[in-house]
Amino acid sequence: MTLRVTDHPILGKLEKKKAVTFTFNDKQYTGYEDESLAAALLANEIRTLRHHEESGSSRGIYCNIGHCFECRVSINGKQGVRACLTPLKGNMIVESHGKLPTPVRDWRSSDE
Amino acid sequence: MNNVIIIGSGPAGLTAAITCAQKGLEVSVIDEYMKPGGRLLGQLYEQPDGSWWNGINESKKLFQQAVNLGVQFYLETPVFNIEKKDSLWVVYTDKETFQTTNLLLATGAAEAPVPIPGWTLPGVMSIGAAQIMTNVHRVKPGNRGLIIGINVLSSAIAMELKLAGVDIACLALPKNNQITHESAHPKKVLDSLLHVAHMAPSTFVKLGSKLMKNNFMKELGVTFYPRNGVKMWDIPIQLKKAVIEIYGEQEVEGVTIASISSKGEVIEGSEENIAVDFVCIAGGLYPLAELAALTGCPFHYIEELGGYVPLHNEQMMTPVEGLFVAGNITGIEGAKVAAAQGKIAGLSIAKRSGKHQLDEDLKDAVQQGADTRKNAYIQFHPEVDSGRRRIQEEWEEYLVNNTVQFF
Residues of chain B neighbouring A61 (CB-CB closer than 8 A): 122, 125, 129
Q: Are residues B52 and B139 in the same domain?
A: no
What gap in Å lies between CA B83 and CA B288, rounded to an integer? 18
Do B261 and B293 belong to one domain? no
Q: Are strands A7-8 and B272-275 parallel, antiparallel or unpaired?
A: unpaired
pLDDT at residue B36, rounded to an integer: 98
With CA atoms as reference, the chain A residue closest to B134 would be A5
Digitized pLDDT (tens) for each residue of chain B, 407 residues in all: 579 999 999 999 999 999 999 999 999 999 999 999 999 999 998 777 888 889 999 999 999 999 999 999 999 999 999 999 999 999 999 999 999 999 999 999 999 999 999 999 999 999 999 999 999 999 999 999 999 998 888 988 999 999 999 999 999 999 876 566 667 777 777 766 666 555 554 444 544 554 444 555 455 556 556 666 677 778 888 888 999 999 999 999 999 999 998 778 899 999 999 999 999 999 999 999 999 999 999 999 999 999 999 999 999 999 999 999 999 999 999 999 999 999 999 999 999 999 989 999 999 999 999 999 998 877 788 889 999 999 999 999 999 988 887 66
The residue out of B232, B255, B281 marking a domain boundary is B281
Whether B269 and B185 map to the same domain: the answer is yes
Is B287 near chain A, with CB under 8 Å? no
Residue of A nearest to B79 (CA): A66
Whole-number pLDDT of residue A67: 95
Cα B288 to its chain centre, rounded Å, is: 9
CB contact under 8 A, B251 and A60: yes
- Among residues B281, B302, B320, the one where a domain terminates is B281
Judgement on whether residues B238 and B316 belong to the same structural domain of the protein: no
CA distance linking residue A36 with residue A54, whole number of Å: 27
Interchain contact, B164 vs A4, CB within 8 Å: no
Q: Is residue B205 part of a domain?
A: yes
Strands B230-232 and B167-174 turn out to be unpaired
- Burial class of residue A61 (count of CB atoms within 10 Å of its CB; 0-12, 13-18, 19+): buried
Contact list, A9 vs chain B (CB under 8 Å): 163
**B167 shares its domain with B227:** yes
B116 is a domain residue: no
CA separation for the pair A31, B123 (Å, rounded): 20
Same domain, yes or no: B329 and B291: yes
pLDDT for residue B196: 58
Q: Name the residue facing B76 among A52, A57, A85 (closest C-beta).
A: A85
- Residue B213, in any domain of the structure: yes
Would you say residue A11 has pLDDT above 90?
yes
**Whether B14 contacts B341, CB under 8 Å:** no
Region class of B265: left (phi > 0), else alpha (psi between -120 and 50), else beta: beta
Question: What is the pLDDT of chain A when averaged over all its residues?
Answer: 92
- Same domain, residue pair B131 and B264: yes
Q: For chain A, which domains are there? A: 7-99 (3.10.20.440)
- Contact call for B165 and A5, based on CB within 8 A: yes
| Contact check, Cβ <8 Å, A47/B251 | yes
Contact (CB<8Å) A3/B143: yes
CATH of the domain at B75: 3.50.50.60
Q: Are residues B158 and B204 in the same domain?
A: yes
Residue B175's φ and ψ, nearest 5 degrees, are -65, 140
Please give the tally of structural domains in chain B: 2
A57 interaction partners in chain B (CB closer than 8 Å) = 120
**B406, part of any domain:** no
- Taking CA–CA distances from A5, the nearest residue in chain B reads B138
> Which one-letter DSSP state was computed for residue B135?
I
Same domain, B255 and B301: no
Residues of B in contact with A52 (CB under 8 A): 120
Same domain flag for B323 and B219: no
Of the pLDDT bands very low, low, confident and very high (cuts 50, 70, 90), residue A75 is: very high
Q: Is residue B117 part of a domain?
A: no
Q: Write down the pLDDT at residue B203.
A: 44
Residue at B119 is within a domain: no
B360 contacts: CB under 8 Å, gap ≥ 6:
none
Give the ranges where chain A is alpha helix by DSSP (H): 37-43, 108-111
pLDDT for position B204: 45
**Domain boundaries, position B152:** 124-281
- Closest partner residue to B132 among A11, A43, A65, by Cβ? A65
Task: Name the residue among B36, B286, B244 with its Cα closest to residue B153.
Answer: B286
Q: How far is CA B406 from CA B312, B315, B320, B342, B381, in A?
A: 12, 11, 9, 18, 31
* B132 shares contact with chain A (CB less than 8 Å): yes
User: Is B331:B308 a contact under the CB 8 Å cutoff?
Assistant: no
Are the C-beta atoms of B60 and B35 separated by less than 8 Å? no
- pLDDT the model gives residue A100: 86
The whole-number pLDDT of residue B211 equals 46
In a domain, B312, yes or no: yes
Model pLDDT, residue B24: 96
Last residue in a domain, options B281, B298, B333: B281
Helix locations, B31-116, DSSP H: 55-68
CB atoms B137 and A35 under 8 Å: yes
Minimal C-alpha gap between B113 and chain A (Å):
9
Q: Which of A107, A79, A112 is nearest to A93 (CA)?
A: A79
**Is residue B407 included in any domain, yes or no?**
no
Confirm or reject contact between B141 and chain A (CB < 8 A).
yes
Q: How far apart are CA B30 and CA B93, in angstroms?
A: 9
Task: Give the residue among B148, B198, B158, B237 at the shortest CA–CA distance from B378.
Answer: B198
Quick one: B141 and B242 in the same domain? yes
CA B322 – CA B328 distance, rounded (Å): 19
Torsion from C-alpha of B145, B149, B154, B155, nearest 10 degrees: 90
Pairs of residues, one from chain A and one from chain B, whose beta carbons lie less than 8 Å apart: 107
Largest CA distance in chain A: 66
- Considering the domain architecture, whether residues B163 and B197 belong to the same structural domain is answered as yes
